[in-house]
Amino acid sequence: MKHGFVFPGQGSQFPGMGKQHYENSAFLKKLFEQANEILGFRISYIMFHGTEEDLKQTRVTQPAVFLHSIIAYKSIDLSENSGSKPDMVAGHSLGEFSALVINGTLSFEDGLRLVSIRAQAMQKACEVKPSTMAAVLALADERVEQICDEVQKETGEIVVPANYNCPGQLVISGTVKGVEIACERMKAAGAKRAMILPVGGAFHSPLMEPAKKELRTAIEATGFHTPLCPVYQNVVARAVMDKDEIKQNLIDQLTGAVRWTQSVQAMIADGATQFTEVGPGKVLQGLIGKIDRTVQTNGVN
């Protein structure tokens, strides 16, 4: 019986996030202030008092979700009944950085700096070419992959599977035209829904290549440590302990797919019977429940 800790990504943010931790703990307040100093702006103020629109800015969203996740984990350490430590960790997209801080691969400071660089690089990449993402529901993964491949070959537009969230829910990513054509074909193929998402660009697609180059430079200049427990990384969906491999997988994640379904299945195959989602929201608990109903899930936010 093993305990997996999982960390959410972009989209889980909400106004007021983290305020209670700031007000209730001098130690956690110091972490917020440290983050403000590292980032060069008061992200804590935006988290506590900003609107949904303020929090949707990628340069704000990613560090805010990362910071909230780390703070929430530290709050477990501060509580009297802190519970068990993770036997394994994973994060959904951005959440992989939170996971790598918790398992000791990255320091909090380096994790936050990398997340900030990643967010700004992704924002710039989004502005290069109009792009988007869409959620496809109730269509087999293999069929979604096939349609994406056909659209790319026939039109020259980019459209790829981006997030394997759970069985029956796969997000695709690419140029606006490519995603629109693919959505129509997926509806015709029997998808329950194929809906364009309100996002600023094509995350986890080849259109993130400029951001990948920028992130690679930052990651290669950052000290990574041997992890305390395995991380199940998005692009390979299996346990990784080698710090150099972790680095490469983290770089590849920007243009590669988030294989969340496969990652959770691998964690369960390796003995996970309980999952704790640490950070804002309950999205991952819902996805894990759809991947395997037999495991226990809970959350700390």
- C-alpha angle 212-216-222 in degrees, rounded to nearest 5: 145
**Average pLDDT over the chain, rounded to whole?**
95
Mean per-residue pLDDT, 234-245: 98
How many DSSP H helices and E strands does the chain contain?
13, 10
Q: Is the pLDDT of residue 191 over 90?
A: yes
Q: With contact defined as beta carbons under 8 Å apart, do 211 and 118 qualify?
A: yes
> What's the alpha-carbon Rg for the chain, to the nearest Å?
19
pLDDT of residue 128: 87
The string of pLDDT tens digits covering residues 129-151 is: 889 999 999 999 999 999 999 99
pLDDT of residue 27: 94
Q: What percent of the chain has pLDDT over 90?
A: 89
* CATH topology agreement for domains 2-126+206-300 and 128-196: no
- Return the CATH fold of 128-196: Alpha-Beta Plaits (3.30.70)
The string of pLDDT tens digits covering residues 33-80 is: 999 999 999 999 999 999 998 988 888 999 999 999 999 999 987 665
pLDDT of residue 78: 63
Q: What percent of the chain has pLDDT over 70?
A: 98
pLDDT of residue 79: 60
Rounded to whole angstroms, the Cα distance separating 257 from 239 reads 17
| Length reported for the chain | 301
| Domain 2-126+206-300: top CATH class | alpha beta
Rounded to whole angstroms, the Cα distance separating 274 from 1 reads 8
Q: With contact defined as beta carbons under 8 Å apart, do 97 and 66 qualify?
A: yes
pLDDT of residue 83: 58
Q: Is 293 helix (H, G, I), strand (E, B) or coil?
A: coil
Query: pTM for this structure?
Result: 0.95
Q: Is the pLDDT of residue 222 over 60?
A: yes
Mean per-residue pLDDT, 221-228: 97
pLDDT of residue 111: 98
The string of pLDDT tens digits covering residues 81-130 is: 555 789 999 999 999 999 999 999 999 999 999 999 999 999 999 888 88
Residue type, 157: E
Rounded to whole angstroms, the Cα distance separating 229 from 99 reads 10
Whose CA is closest to 93, among 249, 220, 244, 229? Answer: 249
Residue type, 17: M
Token pair of 283, please? 């999205």
Residues marked active site are found at 93, 204
Kindly report the number of other CB atoms within 10 A of residue 138's CB atom: 14
pLDDT of residue 82: 53
Q: Could you state, in order of their start, the residue ranges of all structural domains in the chain?
A: 2-126+206-300, 128-196
